[in-house]
Amino acid sequence: MAMRLEEKQVLRGAIEGRARELGFDAVAFVSAQKLPSGRAYREWLREGRHGEMGYLENYQELRVDPAKMEPGTKSVVVMLSNYRQPIDLLDGGLRICRYAQGDDYHKELWKRMRELAAFIHSESGADVATRPAVDTAPLLERDLARQAGLGWVGKNALLIRQGLGSFTFISEILVDIDLGADVEEAPDRCGICTRCLDACPTGAIVAPRVIDARRCISYLTIELRGPIPRRLRPLIGDYLFGCDICQDVCPWNREAPVSEDELHLTRPVYRELAPLDLLSFDHDRYVEVFRKSAMKRAKLRGLKRNAAVVVGNTGSAEDVEPLLSYLRQEEEPLVRGHIAWAIGELGDPSVGDELRQILVQESEPFVCEEIQFSINAIDRRA
């Protein structure tokens, strides 16, 4: 038998209360219906702005319709979790986007959502089918949260909630009971502000709410598996993993609260590391430091590639000798090539001959190209 409106309101209130007890910072409810953003999403894909993230082309019909994604779904409980930390540049020189400074959020948020799903089952008295998701299902989660009234989509293409900002994880539980909805969509409060567009060093925000991932520092340092395009390396600056620039400049994040959730607190080991340290990591050290970390998404070779770029952008002449040593020892061609580039950015004419000797012994075409590029750069400065 269908629930009366008053019963739905009581159940929604109970769910929201339990969700907040579990650590979620905002909760809303939306009926499972097709999202209006499907056409824009398909156009974004056709333009190739997703880069090498081919998985985003899969399950397009499911992404815009939660009822198709999980048959029987009638409502979606959408939640936000604040992960904001005070800084992204840590003492040792690592600049890590805030969402990755703590433990990997997937497992813990899944645990909390399963507890909430069990609560919904108990409170409703029905055999409720539920499916929790947080970056783990083909859903346009940002647009679902917007439709649920949890915020608006800012010009940086992120969900912004007044009073909470944009440093939030979006998660949802799909349920097969009709919970109704009593929240209107939030108005767009970006106004004429263009701080995020103006601040992006690589010009990745090509239009309000349109990101070209191929230029985004987060994509380049996390999702891209091959070489970072040489023209973009200097623009990455000291960002080792991800980027928060478009969030840091947003006025709505100025007074956003810092998360006190232990899940999101910055790991002490990250505070001690320097970018150059990462180039010495072997697999065992990588597993030790990044166990249960979202930074494992980039894999060891990706982190070392990024570290080489950061050293090339921010290092000094004193770093050249260690870089030469790593260039000789490193097994991964991807990493060797970026180390060679860093040497070219920092080295003086005295290292040219040493690079030429290494070039003679190198067999990988990509690494040879990067070494020669650095030799030419050094010779031009002579």
Place of tokens 């409980």: 77
Q: Phi then psi for 66, rounded to 5 degrees?
A: -60, -25
Q: Phi then psi for 295, rounded to 5 degrees?
A: -70, -15
Cα 278 from Cα 280, distance rounded (Å): 5
Please give the sequence-ordered ranges of beta strands (E in DSSP) within the chain, or none if there are none: 26-31, 75-82, 95-96, 130-133, 152-153, 159-160, 168-175, 205-207, 210-211, 239-241
Cα 382 from Cα 378, distance rounded (Å): 6
SS3 assignment, position 150: coil
Q: Is 285 left (phi over 0), alpha (psi -120 to 50) or beta?
A: alpha
Is 238 one of the annotated active-site residues of the chain?
Answer: no
Q: Considering only CA atoms, which of 261, 307, 288, 349 is closest in space to residue 80?
A: 261
Entry field: residues in the chain: 382
Q: Considering only CA atoms, which of 161, 21, 19 is closest in space to residue 77?
A: 19
- Hey, how many other C-beta atoms are within 10 angstroms of the C-beta on 365? 10
Sign of CA dihedral 156, 83, 161, 116: positive
β-pair type (205-207, 26-31):
unpaired
Catalytic-labelled residue, pool 135, 182, 282, 348: 135
Show which residues are catalytic. Answer: 135
